[in-house]
Structure 1
């Protein structure tokens, strides 16, 4: 019988980002004082809560390593969101975690963007290092208000931005096009999004698909019964601005396939954010290289976990890496397999 271990600890659920930053300063490594032992094989895997696509993906990886010929085990540790999980990895509380490329770049450059606050008092002493890009998140915005025809019409409106720990993906596109200060972004449980729209508590809301998939997250399935829902578009000028933003890409979402009813448009251009697996930099090169070897030897199995991972393979894993450090163990694996890009940053 196959066993998978889950640690459902909620670490400092009431703590704010600044509190976690302070914690990272007390526990974090990078100067030989980390709580992470380089040769540890029992990896705490910081991930978002159960029911999220991120949790499903991490569960697939944990199952893979449970069955693989390796001493590495992945124990899922749910947190309040991607940024909290990333900061806990920096603090040595998690060995591996999920995060957007923005978290890596912003923390490495000690700068701040909405939902990726790593400048000033929020800097962290240890920057988690990239291992591989695994998927991207492709957000889009929906409304039931006929007076709202485009993203521009959201100025002065209230928009549901999902859970607090996932603020980046819903906030940074508005920051990129200069609308961030003009929109009231409210945070709340993902499951509240359909009700908030239906009851008129918000004017619009953000939802998403992952990678090339068309599966809505579980909490968004109720949107399928709301056939008066309309999908909003960015203007061509706004999309050009987004394409110039180092934190975002622009990709197409076939919204007509995501919903069970005929949508007002067939496809929408999405301000897309790549997601990576990050590890604590003190993990040994040999173990991180082994993590890569097992992952890339089982691409077909990983792709079957969820359509969010449908694009995952060795090339995708490298092409999605961005301008923050890549763990040397991963670099070694990519170099040996002729995949390394010299424009990337070796940790």
Structure 2
């Protein structure tokens, strides 16, 4: 399995690497190879071009690929793999430098802000969300466009003073945000009503209030409500991969998730079969890989509204 997993430093890449390490230890025949695709749209295109046979992609970007919108509007994709299992939920929120005078999202227009890399699905999702609410124009004038590997430097050098970040599976920061945590003093800023409403109304992402901004070493607690917009990620697998291979991969994850968590604490508690199913969203358009279907049926979490894919 050659698995497109966004760019190095992302949560999808970190999860895939943790799975790769344990699969290599636990299976005599499975090979789970993490490939830095540079973003979800690139993973989807690499699969359609026959260069990879699996990938992780957020449900927002997958919807764009299925409806020929966004980055697929002028260059559509017609070949898709089959759904496997969910592995990642991201909660996105705003933060600022500790010494900045930015207190709420109403202070963001006209300020230098980092909104994730321009090639990322999370960036496209956020842009669309704020465009629909009439908020993006005020932000876009001063967006700092750098890769995540440069985000900490941009903040440390004052080239950006506020940024979008996310916590993975409610507990862990991606490695690029861990670098920010170690180099720069930051604090959360309050999402005002207009920004909260934009997240609540946007059909392309979820909305959640969380108890804490998980993963930070420095104190980032606040006395205001922690509003977030959310995205979920499943793995997809080519129908040319055998049912046994996908089934056995899920068995390795189910039985060895604690070893995977040692490499990357973001990994879910896959002892609970329900935790494989939470990100299976586009089931009307995309069938479930037969290997995954077998696993779900044997573990009593199959949903009769899903379609079993052909082998």
Classify the TM-score, shorter chain: 0.7 to 0.9
Question: Any conservation in 2 of the 1:142–1:230 contact (CA below 8 Å)?
Answer: yes
Question: Any conservation in 2 of the 1:81–1:164 contact (CA below 8 Å)?
Answer: no
Q: Partner of 1:180 in structure 2?
A: 136
Compute the TM-score of the two structures, normalised by the length of structure 1: 0.74
Question: Any conservation in 1 of the 2:4–2:52 contact (CA below 8 Å)?
Answer: yes
Q: More relative contact order in 1 or in 2 (CA 8 Å, sep 6+)? A: 2
Q: Partner of 2:95 in structure 1?
A: 142
Aligned residues: 298
Unaligned runs of at least 5 residues, structure 2: none
Q: Partner of 1:97 in structure 2?
A: 55
**Deviation of the 1:163 alpha carbon:** 3.0
Distance in 1 of aligned mates of 2:233 and 2:35: 18
Question: Any conservation in 1 of the 2:187–2:220 contact (CA below 8 Å)?
Answer: no
CA gap of 1:301–1:87, structure 2 versus 1, over 3 A, is: same
Unaligned runs of at least 5 residues, structure 1: 1-42
Distance in 2 of aligned mates of 1:343 and 1:171: 30
Compute the TM-score of the two structures, normalised by the length of structure 2: 0.82
Q: Choose from 91, 115, 123 the match for 1:161.
A: 115
Distance in 2 of aligned mates of 1:213 and 1:135: 11
Q: Partner of 1:317 in structure 2?
A: 276
**Deviation of the 1:222 alpha carbon:** 3.5
Q: Partner of 2:236 in structure 1?
A: 278
Q: Partner of 2:167 in structure 1?
A: 209
**Greater shift in the superposed pair: 95-104 or 157-166:** 157-166
Q: Deviations over 1:4-24 (max 9, x none)?
A: xxxxxxxxxxxxxxxxxxxxx
Question: Any conservation in 2 of the 1:161–1:171 contact (CA below 8 Å)?
Answer: no
1:107 aligns with 2:61: no
More strand per residue: 1
**Deviation of the 1:98 alpha carbon:** 1.8
Distance in 1 of aligned mates of 2:260 and 2:39: 23
Question: Any conservation in 2 of the 1:107–1:127 contact (CA below 8 Å)?
Answer: no
Q: Partner of 2:77 in structure 1?
A: 124
**Greater shift in the superposed pair: 203-212 or 215-224:** 215-224
